[in-house]
Amino acid sequence: MIRVAGVGAGYFSQFHYGSWARMEGVEVVGACDLDREKAAATGAPAFDDLGAMLTEAAPDLLDVILPPPAHAATIRAALTAGVKWIICQKPFCMDLEEARRIVAEAEAAGARLIVHENFRFQPWYRAIKAELEAGSIGEVLNATFRLRPGDGQGPEAYLDRQPYFQEMPRFLVHETAVHWVDTFAYLFGPAEAVYADLRRINPVIAGEDAGHVIFDHGPVRALFDGNRHLDHVADNLRRTMGEALIEGTCGVLALSGDGAVTRRGFGSDMVQTVLGPDTWDGFGGDCVHALQSHVVGAMKGCTTLENEARDYLRVIAVKDAIYASADAGRKIVLEEA
C-alpha cells in the first residue's frame, strides 16, 4: 500500500481526497488543515499541524493542496521529514526564482516533485494528442481555445467558490490560462514566443480577467482567447471551460463544451466522432484521478512521469513572458529551456 497524506482542505481538495479514496493500492493516512474540522471532513485522519502529520502518519507521498504562498515552506517540511514523493498544486510557488530553488532542493534530497497540472490529463486532450500523433489532420497550423466559463460578472464573482480570486493581482493568466500554457506545450511542443493583450473588465477583480495570447509553437500558431464574463454551450461550464479548434492541412479537430471531440476532413462536410460527450459528474473529466493515478503508476515503475517540477519551470517562464509581453506591447521570444 502507498501511504498518502494531504495538506489543505479547501474547495478543490474534495477532488483530490475523493480520488485517493477510490484508488486501489493507496491508503490515505492523513489530512492536514489549520481548520481541523475541514481536515476531518475529508474522511481521513485529521491534523492541524503539518509536522505532527508527517511524523505520525509517515506518508510515502504528500499531496500539497494549498495556494502558492504556502508551497515552499510545505515542500521543505516534507523534504526534511524524508518524504520522497510530493505533488504540489499549481500555480507552483510564488515566482520562477522560488520555484527553481525548491526544485533544486527536492532534487538534492532525492525526492520526486510533481506539479498538479491536471488539464493535460483531461480525456479530450488525451484524445486530441492521439489524433495528432496518428497524423489524422495532417500538419497542424492553427489552434484556438476560447475560455468562456461565464463566472466573472458582478460584485459577487467567485465568492461562492474561490473568493481569493478577487484579490489576485495577476488572475486570468496566472491562475487559469497557465492550464493552456501547459496543454499547448503537451500538444505542440514548447512555446518559442508569445504575444499578449490583457485587460480587466470587472472592477471588483484586482487582476486581469480577459485577454488574448498568441503562442508560437514552431509551425503552429496557438491562440488562447479568454473572457471569464462570457459563456459557451454546455450543461456544466466548468467541464471544458470553453471550446477549441485544432486545424491542420488535412482536417480539423473540434472540442465542444460537453467534452466531445470531433474530426472533419479537409474539404469535407462529414463530421466524425473521436470521443463522445463526457459523463463524469465531477471536475474536468476526472482529470484529478487521472493525474494521481499517473503518479502512482510512476511510483510503481509503470509510467514515465509528466509534469515534474523541473519541466514545469518552463511553464512558469512562459507565463512570465506573457505578462512581459502585455506590459511591453510586443512579442516576447523565449530563451531556450
In this predicted model, what pLDDT tens digit does every residue of 251-305 receive, in sequence order? 999 999 999 999 999 999 999 999 999 999 889 999 999 999 999 999 999 999 9
Largest Cα span, the chain: 64
Predicted local confidence at residue 162, as pLDDT: 87
pLDDT average, residue stretch 200-220: 98
DSSP state of 118: -
CATH class of 120-282+305-333: alpha beta
Which long-range contacts (C-beta less than 8 Å, at least 24 apart) are formed by 262-268? 263/131, 263/136, 263/137, 266/137, 266/138
pLDDT average, residue stretch 188-200: 98
Predicted local confidence at residue 58, as pLDDT: 98
Predicted local confidence at residue 161, as pLDDT: 85
Percentage with pLDDT > 90 across the chain: 97
Question: Is the model's pLDDT at 337 over the cut of 70?
Answer: no
pTM above 0.85, yes or no: yes
Predicted local confidence at residue 222, as pLDDT: 98
Pick the CATH number of 2-116 from 3.30.70.3270, 3.40.50.150, 3.40.50.720, 3.40.630.10: 3.40.50.720
The grid coordinates of residue 255 equal 472540442
Distance separating alpha carbons of residues 117 and 295, to the nearest angstrom = 12
Predicted local confidence at residue 115, as pLDDT: 98
| 49-67 per-position pLDDT tens digit | 999 999 999 999 999 999 9
Indicate the domain borders of the chain: 2-116, 120-282+305-333
144 pLDDT tier (thresholds 50, 70, 90): very high
> Smallest Cα–Cα separation from 209: which of 183, 244, 177, 162?
177
Angle at 230 between CA 227 and CA 231, to 5 degrees: 120
pLDDT average, residue stretch 85-89: 98
Predicted local confidence at residue 335, as pLDDT: 85
For the chain, the average pLDDT equals 97
138 forms bridges with which residues in the sheet? none
| 211-234 per-position pLDDT tens digit | 999 999 999 999 999 999 999 999
Predicted local confidence at residue 248, as pLDDT: 98
Q: Is 138 exposed, middle or buried (0-12, 13-18, 19+ CB in 10 A)?
A: middle
33 pLDDT tier (thresholds 50, 70, 90): very high
